[in-house]
Amino acid sequence: MLIGIIGAGHIGSALAYLFSKGGHQVEIANSRGPETLSDLEKEYGDNVRAVTAEQAAGDGEVVVVTIPLGRYEELPAAELAGKTVIDTCNYYPSRDGHIAALDNGETTSSELIQRHLSGAHVVKAFNAMRYDHLREYGREGGAAQRYGIPVAGDDPAAKRQAMDLIEQVGFEPVDAGTLAQSRTFEPGADVYTADLWADDLRARIGIEAA
């Protein structure tokens, strides 16, 4: 699969590493231009290519969005239409500026992104674990226990795509419901960066094991 990644910070770079290691082709973009990512390309090898955000959005079969939330309206909505978009963004008012609809609990950050990307299918995932733990804590399939990654989304097929990728990189996806329910693993929630085994994560966010 070709996976686009918009945002080459800690989480974006960690996911580029994991996906490319798993055999996927990755196109990664930042706000400063592909030429600034030449070192990352050399480090990660032939499966990773630096491109523009519009290229990553247009080429990716699945696209990861991992940017400061305050810049979500810069995402290329036309290129992302019809795509599964994995949103790793977290709201930090000190960085992003205050957003009234989030401050008063009216909506979630992923729902804001979904409104902007009205033609896409947004799934919240990969936001609640530190980037270095994402790189290091994955376990092979069949392991007795795997760390859980919470997942929320309104489109079942898009959510399944995200869950499949989570499994491929060594974690167990935990269905946390809809985008409106993604607040259960946003900053400030007790599971945020808690690094929990999947069953413990289910229990903490109120999801019973299947």
The full set of domain ranges for the chain reads: 2-204
Report pTM: 0.95
Q: Average of pLDDT values for 149-161? A: 98
DSSP strands (E only) in 32-129: 48-50, 62-65, 84-87, 121-124
Q: Cα torsion at 38, 43, 47, 51 (round to 10°)?
A: -20
Cα separation, 39 vs 124, in Å, equals: 29
DSSP classification of residue 72:
G
Give the residue carrying structure tokens 């693993």. Answer: 185
- The pLDDT, as a whole number, for residue 210 is 40
- CATH topology classification for 2-204: Rossmann fold (3.40.50)
Cα separation, 165 vs 160, in Å, equals: 9
Cα separation, 186 vs 108, in Å, equals: 9
Segment 116-144, tens digit of pLDDT: 999 999 999 999 999 999 999 998 766 77
